[in-house]
Amino acid sequence: MQTGDKTMKMTLAAIATALQIPVATPEWEQIIITDVAFDTRQLTAGSLFVPLTGARDGHDFIDAAIENGAQATLWQRGHAGVPTTLPVLEVADPLEAMQTIAKAYLAQVKPQVVAVTGSNGKTTTKDLIAAVLATKFKVTKTPENFNNELGVPLTIFGMDDGTEVLVVEMGMDRFGQLEQLSQLVHPDFAVITMIGEAHIEFFGTRDKIADAKMEIVAGMPATGTLVINGDEPLLTSRAATLSQTVKQFGRQATNDVYATQVTVQPTQLSFTTNTWPELTMTVPLVGEYNVSNALAAVTIGQAFQISGEQIAHGLATSAMTANRSEWLTAPNGTRILSDVYNSNPTAAREVLQTVSQLPTAGNRIAVLGDMLELGTASAALHASLATAIDPIKFHAIYLVGDEMRALQAQLQTNGYPMERVHWYAKDDLASLTQELQSVLQADDMVVLKASHGIHLETVLANLTTPE
């Protein structure tokens, strides 16, 4: 029941009305726009092209946009080179105009909106919530991690007019960002997965991160519901001041929804809850930390009056976004846990602890890249991962990036055998790949974890591609 094709339908007249500008030619008014894009490579027949100004000026690519099927274009007012061969809507700021159009299209379709944020687990939780809701409703969810000022509008444009629920992921790296996104979508339900150290460089403390995460309720109506991890005091204390309904999930029995029994297996998790104690729910994810993410989905499912059996079915059949705790196999049989999209201390520690507990006939090996945006606390937070690296459990450690020098030093202090610790510069991934290919054996298990800026996905691609 999840939509993936870009099948929006919005007349140019409706778009112009939303932007409060006239359509220059009457015959343009009934032109149907079926997609909105700022990348000319993503344009299709029926697209509205949005020229954005960044490192390169999107206006310079108007010819490519027309060639690739653009039906109309926004245009920054006063910018030279206004095209004459297709409808043009002149606006003060194309990005703001795109967001305004997204808001109008959302109002046209009128789905219920579930917004998801959190320092860790928001993409996984978004996927699980969408899978649960799709057992009863027609659902559109954020593709990949389109979770910022550009990604949220694109997610909205990805709906067709039959969408009943929109599950939208929201990221942040500064104060005010979640408030803006919340005001854009006006969520009926908002979910905060947890508070960690992600982006602490910009916020300074976890308290301030919690303040920023609470901005997700800025656009929520009085009838809305906030769903939070009740095991986090930074969230429960702030939620207590809200007038909207608050529901709590977590591992502690003080929550509205909590796990009563948990079974961890190499490729999946099973658990029961206080709400359906006789019903075992299974999720195709590794790591006990994902139980909380699944409990958030259960809580949302209950709020939408979905039965326990349907919720269990949704969780069991959920389709997960790639490169987040994803098991892959190298051509020689090595099992690879790919978690290369992003990293922060909490997430990295949880993944390491999970892998250390999984059975394997061969060696466990960890490949860890720099965790970015940790500010002045970076060295200490990188070093802190040493507590999750037992030399008995992990045969070898491969580190990538300057920040990982702190972990290397801490491992030496802790007595980890340094001949089994290997460091690489972040621009020397080819050498890292060659060494891994030479040492990995069929029975081995390797985990790759780093911030996206380290690009361990290139190492992963080479490890999983037949020579």
Backbone angles phi, psi at 71, to 5 degrees: -90, -25
The CA-CA-CA angle for residues 209, 242, 230, to 5°, reads: 60
Give the DSSP letter string of 358-395. S--SS-EEEEEEPPPS-GGGHHHHHHGGGGG--TTT-S
8-state DSSP, 275: S
Asked if residues 7 and 16 have their Cβ atoms less than 8 Å apart, the reply is no
Asked if residues 262 and 270 have their Cβ atoms less than 8 Å apart, the reply is yes
Asked if residues 123 and 296 have their Cβ atoms less than 8 Å apart, the reply is no
Report the C-alpha gap between 189 and 300 in whole angstroms: 8
Q: Dihedral of CA 307/170/100/59: which sign?
A: negative
Report the C-alpha gap between 255 and 1 in whole angstroms: 30
Strands 281-283 and 269-273: antiparallel
Give the DSSP letter string of 64-100. HHHHTTEEEEEEETT-S---SSS-EEEES-HHHHHHH
Report the C-alpha gap between 75 and 28 in whole angstroms: 16
Report the C-alpha gap between 97 and 102 in whole angstroms: 9
Q: Is 162 annotated as a binding residue?
A: no
Six token digits for residue 39: 């990348």
Query: Can you list the alpha helix ranges (DSSP code H) found in 304-342?
Result: 308-316
Report the C-alpha gap between 147 and 222 in whole angstroms: 24
Q: Is 118 annotated as a binding residue?
A: yes
Helix (H, G, I), strand (E, B) or coil at 38: coil
Asked if residues 244 and 238 have their Cβ atoms less than 8 Å apart, the reply is no
Report the C-alpha gap between 332 and 212 in whole angstroms: 46
Helix (H, G, I), strand (E, B) or coil at 177: helix
Q: Is 362 annotated as a binding residue?
A: no
Report the C-alpha gap between 273 and 260 in whole angstroms: 5
Reduced 3-state DSSP string for 217-250: HCCCCCCCEEEEECCCHHHHHHHCCCCCEEEEEE
Q: Is 103 annotated as a binding residue?
A: no
Residues 6+ apart with CB under 8 A from 29: 11, 12, 13, 16, 23
Q: Is 25 annotated as a binding residue?
A: no
Helix (H, G, I), strand (E, B) or coil at 344: coil
Annotated binding site: 118-124
Annotated binding site for ATP: 118-124
